[in-house]
Amino acid sequence: MKLNKILPFMLLLFFSMGFAQQGKKNSKKLNTKKVQVIDSIRVSKIAEELPSTVLATSIKDSTIYDLKDMAIARKKDSLWLKELYKSDLFEDVYSSVANQNYEAVDYDELPTEVLKQRLKELDARTPFKVEYNPSLESVIKQYLKNRRGTLERLMGLSEYYFPMFEQELDKNNLPLELKYLAVIESALNPRAQSRVGATGLWQFMFTTGKMFGLDVSSYVDERSDPIMATEAACKYLKSLNNSFNDWDLALAAYNSGPGNVSKAIRRSGGKTNYWNLRDYLPRETAGYVPAFLATMYIFEYAEEHGFKKHGTRIPFVATDTIRVKQQITLDQVAKLTNLDKEELEFLNPSYKLGVIPVIKDENYVLRLPLTSVGAFVNNENAIYAFAQEEQQEAEKPLPELIEQPEKIRYRVKRGDYLGRIAERYGVGVSQIRSWNGMRSNTVKVGQNLIIYPKKTSQDIASNTVSQGNSSEKTYTVRNGDSLWSISQKFPGVSVQNIKKWNDISGTNLKPGTKLKIYKG
């Protein structure tokens, strides 16, 4: 066997061993065990004994230690990942802004006098005009009464994004409270797309994005890049505040454009207070600043209102980027690092087709958790060799970039999810979303999807027959079970198999859960 064929195989084997999170539940104290280094890849010899691992490398002696996670931390990890992968909050937040009403709301937990005092305190520490009025009270109480679940999920996501936002806002001498603008703009979804085509965390239109340095190509949409989009939003917001010299009006202009705010000022007879201009602004913009102020209030007083913030599994500061030297796909990275594809898509949302291209004068990067960066860099040549070989064996033309008569229309069946459909046809989840203009991974039974399959009908039929000939078994989860320990009970079954067959995104299992297992 040629060396270039051996390396990818060994790489896959070692990565799978080194990064696997597997084993039986253990509540004993944290302990460490030194492990051996094999062929520049640090491989854990005790991973199978542990529920999960946190990798900490020592450069001086090239050793690695495995630290046992507490069970509660692992549970939080699983919950956090589920929240990250969901992208269904955008429509809810958009609707709440566009269709806001200002009727009085009964909410005894927040007396008006308490609210007035807190708004006064908030006004003292921010350049925004945070003044009490019945309309703002109505919005705050509606959110607290009817949208607690949504707000708690947004608070969880904010733990990842806010440190990044604050860094850029501080660099540009802008109010840190502007971070709350991204909450009402996109529900903190970097791939959010409005009905008129605004995209990303900060909802840039194509033309406005170009004005502030955000390029869009067949492969990459920089409006969905969290850092680049935040830098552009800072420039745009600064220019709007310089124009209007008022943050409330700058926010209104960010939503509907400076032209609409200027028209509202003229139509009102020269009024420049946002609350006096609201009747002259578009309906969505009229609800925009109240939504921003209400969100700011609730986040700032989250503890007082009983919200529980879930810590991030992957804080932004615990990630790093690697400049890509050869074209590679997120599918290939997922295989080689044993990271979930959804996790990679979350960390790298600007790659529309799940492909990181290499283009002259462009520096595209791959963002990974710090625990995966070292192993990737140490084995870069082998990784690229594997990617290149896989690409050479695949069909040359990409169906998105050429006229493709073989497209099919797939009708979603009960039990389907995008990952399963994508795997069946040999394509990526992000590709299906792109072909069908989808803003989230959610599919409904009976929904029609356009797909350009990479697998032939013979491949699909063969796979279907293979699964049809396999025997299905139901396994009931017991106390102490993990995905890895269950997979060991069935020869030839992997953790990924079980996750795909049962539509599981995390690793948390409840005793009594029924799992489908296919043998054969």
Q: Which residues are catalytic?
A: 185
Rounded to 5 degrees, φ, ψ at 336 are: -85, -20
In this structure, are strands 328-329 and 355-356 parallel, antiparallel, or unpaired?
antiparallel
Name the one residue in this structure whose structure tokens are 């999170």. 21
What size, in residues, is the chain? 520
Distance CA 40, CA 477 (A): 37
Beta-bridge partner residues of 328: 356
- List, in order, residues 6 or more apart from 134 with CB less than 8 Å away: 102, 104
Distance CA 41, CA 11 (A): 8
Token duo for residue 163: 């440190």
Distance CA 248, CA 230 (A): 19
Distance CA 62, CA 161 (A): 33
Token duo for residue 13: 């084997």
Helix and strand tally (H, E) in the chain? 23, 12
Distance CA 432, CA 412 (A): 13
Alpha-carbon distances of 512 from 27, 77, 95, 241, rounded to whole Å:
21, 21, 39, 57
- List, in order, residues 6 or more apart from 84 with CB less than 8 Å away: 157, 160, 313, 342, 343, 346
Count other C-beta atoms under 10 Å from residue 470's C-beta.
12
C-beta separation of 290 from 132 below 8 A = no
